[in-house]
Chain A
Amino acid sequence: MMPDLGIHAAYVLSAYAVTLTLLAGLIGLSWLRSNRVRRMLDTLEHGKQGEPYER
C-alpha cells in the first residue's frame, strides 16, 4: 500500500514525521495544560473535584 517515493523517499517521510511529531506535541501539551489548570481551578473553588467555573 505504501507508494513508491523513489529517490526522495527520505525527504518526504522525514517531512511528514517532523510535522506529525510537532502537531502531536502541540495537541498533547495543550491537552495536558488544560487538564492541569482545570484541576487547579476546581481545587481552588471547591477544595476538591467539583463543578467547573463555566457551568
Chain B
Amino acid sequence: MSIWEFANPARFSRLSGRIIPPAALLTGLCLAIGLIWGFFGTPDDFRQGSTVKIIYIHVPAALMAINAWLMMLVASLIWLIRRHHVSALAARAAAPVGAVMTVIALLTGAIWGQPMWGTWWEWDPRLTSFLVLFVFYLGYIALWEAVAVPDKAAALTADLCMVGSIFALMSRYAVLFWNQGLHQGASLSLDKETNVADVFYQPLLVCIAGFVLLFVTLVLVRTRTEIRARRALALMRQGVR
C-alpha cells in the first residue's frame, strides 16, 4: 500500500477516525502525567527558583510552534508538487494550532523573562523571530480565509509558507548563530552531552510527548473538519440543499 492512498479524502477520514480516539486518550495521559509531575514533583532550580516549572509548558510549546510550521511546509510542498487536496487541508488545519503554540511560547517566555531577565520583552533574535513567525501564522490563516477559490488559496498559502519557513528555521537556530541576544541556548539538544538535569529532563520529555500528541490529534480532527467543509461547499455549489 502506498502512502499516497491516504491522500484520498474518504480513506484519510476513515483512518483518522480510528486513530483520533486512542491518540486523544494518550494525549490526555501524557499531558496530565507530565504537567503534574513537573509542577508538583520537581524541586526549584537553585538559580531560577520555582520559575523553572515554566519550562514544562514553554519548551514544548516553542518546539511545536516551529515544528507545526515545518509540517505545514512539507504539506504545502506535497500540494505544490502532487496536488493532493488533503495535504493542503492538513496545512490549513495545522495553522491555528501552530499559532496558539506560538502565543503560548511568547506569553510564557515573557512571564518567565520578567523575574529572570527583569523585562517582559527584549528585541532578542529568538524572541523577535518568534514574533515574526506568529505574524506569519496570522497572515497564513487570513490568506486562507480571504481567497474564495480553494485551489488558489492553497497555492498562495503554500508560497507564503515557504517564505515563512525562513523565520521558523531562524527561530530554531537564532541562538546558535546570533549570540548577542538574551535568550539562552537550547534547553534540549540531541547532540549535546548534557541537557537540563535529569530531575527536570524526564517530566519535560513527557510534556513534549503530550504536546506532540496534542498537535497530531488536533490536526487530524481539524483536517477531517476541513475535508467535510470542502465537501459541503461542493454540494452547496451543486445546489443540493
Residues of A participating in the B interface, judged by any CB pair closer than 8 Å: 1, 3-9, 11-12, 14-16, 18-19, 22-23, 25-27, 30-31, 33-34, 37-38, 40-41, 44-45, 53-55
Q: Which residues of B contact A1 (CB under 8 A)?
A: 40
Residue of B nearest to A16 (CB): B57
Distance in Å from the Cβ of A31 to the closest Cβ of chain B? Answer: 7
B104 and A8 contacting across the interface, CB-CB below 8 Å: no
Distance in Å from the Cβ of A49 to the closest Cβ of chain B? Answer: 14
A37 and B228 contacting across the interface, CB-CB below 8 Å: yes
B232 and A44 contacting across the interface, CB-CB below 8 Å: yes
Q: Which residues of A contact B40 (CB under 8 A)?
A: 1, 3
Distance in Å from the Cβ of B168 to the closest Cβ of chain A? Answer: 19
In angstroms, Cα B222 to Cα A31, docked, is: 8
Distance in Å from the Cβ of A9 to the closest Cβ of chain B? Answer: 7
Chain A residues touching B, majority SS:
helix
B218 and A26 contacting across the interface, CB-CB below 8 Å: yes
For window 79-130 of B, CB contacts with A under 8 Å fall at 96-97, 100, 103-104, 107-108, 111-112, 114-115
Across chains A and B, the number of contacting residue pairs, with CB separation under 8 Å, is 105
Q: Which residues of A contact B236 (CB under 8 A)?
A: 44
In angstroms, Cα B221 to Cα A25, docked, is: 15
In angstroms, Cα B17 to Cα A27, docked, is: 17
Q: Which residues of B contact A44 (CB under 8 A)?
A: 232, 235-236, 240-241
A38 and B228 contacting across the interface, CB-CB below 8 Å: yes
A7 and B222 contacting across the interface, CB-CB below 8 Å: no
Given contacts A23-B104, A40-B232, A54-B10, 19 further A-B contacts (CB under 8 A): A1-B40, A3-B40, A3-B50, A4-B50, A16-B39, A16-B57, A18-B111, A19-B57, A19-B61, A26-B97, A30-B222, A30-B225, A33-B222, A37-B232, A41-B228, A41-B231, A41-B232, A53-B228, A54-B9
Q: Which residues of A contact B103 (CB under 8 A)?
A: 22
Q: Which residues of A contact B58 (CB under 8 A)?
A: 15
B115 and A11 contacting across the interface, CB-CB below 8 Å: yes
B235 and A18 contacting across the interface, CB-CB below 8 Å: no
Which of these, B49, B229, B240, contacts A6 with CB under 8 Å? B49
In angstroms, Cα B225 to Cα A31, docked, is: 9
Distance in Å from the Cβ of A25 to the closest Cβ of chain B? Answer: 8
Residue of A nearest to B113 (CB): A11
Any A CB within 8 A of the CB of B171: no
Given contacts A26-B218, A53-B231, contact A15 B225 (CB under 8 A): no
Distance in Å from the Cβ of B121 to the closest Cβ of chain A? Answer: 15
Q: Which residues of B contact A22 (CB under 8 A)?
A: 100, 103-104
